[in-house]
Amino acid sequence: MLIRSSYTVVIVEKRGKDFYMMQLMKKLYENTAVKWIGYTCFYLLILLLLFFIYGFHTANTGSYIYNDF
């Protein structure tokens, strides 16, 4: 098929690149090692965010709940 407009050719080529990129992303998503690394980074991020939200406390800070018993 002959496409005469250069603008149309650019659009067709761009769709082709996007299609190949989506195939690559699908292959990466289905890879077990990539999933494991992704989940590990995700849960590490959650853990770090919780540490930053609640702060790093030492054993001497704060009151102990059973002091009065």
Indicate yes or no: pTM above 0.75: no
Band (15; pLDDT cuts 50, 70, 90): low
Which residues span the domain enclosing 42? 12-52
Q: Is residue 35 part of a domain?
A: yes
Q: Is residue 67 part of a domain?
A: no
Q: Is residue 62 part of a domain?
A: no
Residue 3, pLDDT > 70, answer no
Residue 33, pLDDT > 80, answer yes
- Across 47-53, average pLDDT: 89
Q: Is residue 44 part of a domain?
A: yes
Sequence-distant (≥ 6) Cβ neighbours of residue 28 within 8 angstroms: 34
pLDDT of residue 54: 80
Band (44; pLDDT cuts 50, 70, 90): very high
Q: Is residue 4 part of a domain?
A: no
Q: Is residue 57 part of a domain?
A: no
Q: Is residue 26 part of a domain?
A: yes
As a whole number of angstroms, the longest Cα–Cα distance in the chain is 88
pLDDT of residue 67: 62
Q: Is residue 66 part of a domain?
A: no
Number of domains, the chain: 1
Length of the chain: 69
